[in-house]
Structure 1
C-alpha cells in the first residue's frame, strides 16, 4: 500500500471471491481461514492498510449458515448487518450489502456500462457507440437470456463474453455490422453446469441437447 501511494495511486481494491468454499473445507482449515479473515478485518479497521478496500463475496449460507461466518462469533459480530424486508432501504455503508438477481433491465444497464467503458479506449469510439446503441444492447440481452431458457439470472457471464466479442469486432472491422453479421450462438461445452441446465431447457428437441459421453 505504501508503494502504491508513493506511485500516485489512491489505493487498492481487493476482491475475495467464492469464500463459501470454506464451508466444504476440513474443520481445522475452515477455522483457520475464518480467523485469518477476522484478523485481516481488524488490521484494516486499525488503519494498517490505508487505501485498501476489501470486498468479500459469498452466498447467504456463507454469511448466515452454521458452517460459515457464524462459526466464528467475533467475525460474525464484525459483519453483522440488519436487513429490512424491503431491499430499497438497505444501508450501502453497512458491512454487508445484498446483491439482487439480474433481470433484463439490469442486464441492459450492464451492457451500457461495458459499451461506454470500452468506447473510452477504443480506436473507433463513435462507431462503437453508434453500432452498439442502447436498443441493440436490449435486443442482445433478450437474445442471450432466451438462449439460456429465459433465465436472466444465469445469463450475465455469457452475456458479457459475447458482448465483448461483438464490441471487439465493431471497433476493429469497419464493415462489421452486428445487426447484420452477428448471430448469438451458445454451445454447451462453453457453459457452467448452471448455465448448461438452463440452456438444455430451451432446446426445441432432445436432438439439440449436447451430451458429454
Structure 2
C-alpha cells in the first residue's frame, strides 16, 4: 500500500491533490479563516482522505498503473542506453589481432540487432545486456594483457611472447564468441516474439 501511495503522489493527479491542499493551507490563514497552526493538520487530513479515496477508484488505479509504466520505461531506457554506450565503445576499438577483431565485430552486430528489437517492443533480456557489457570488460582485459606483454618484450624470448599473446587472443575470441552467440540467440527469439505479437495485433484489428 505504501508503494502505491508514493507512486500515486508522483502522478499528475497526485501532484494536483497535493498542490490544491497546499493552496488551501496558504489561503485559510491569509483569509483569516483559520490560523496556520489549525489549518496545517486540517489540510493534511483532507489530503490523506482525498488520496485514499482516489486510490479506491478506477481513476486512481489507472494513474498508479500509468506511473508504474513510466518508471519501467525510464528504467529500460537507462539500461538500454548503457548497452548502446557499451556497443559504441566496442565499435570504436582498433584491435590488431584479426580473430579478436572479428569476434568483437560479431558482438557489435549482435548487440545492434538486440537494441533494434528492443526498441521495436521486444522484451528486454538481462542476459543479452550482461553479455554486451561483459564483452567490454573482456576486451579491456585482453588489451591490458597485450600491452603488458609488449612492454616486457626485452625480458622475454620471442617464442614465449608470441605463445602467451596467442593464448590470450584465443581466450578472448572464445569468450567473445560465446557472448555473441548468446546475444544472437536472444535477439532472434525476441524478434520472433515481437513479430508474433505484431501479427496477432494485426489479426485482432481485422476482426
| TM-score, with structure 1 as normaliser | 0.29
Counting helix residues as a fraction of each chain, which structure ranks higher?
A: 2
Larger Rg, first or second structure (1 or 2): 2
Counting strand residues as a fraction of each chain, which structure ranks higher?
A: 1
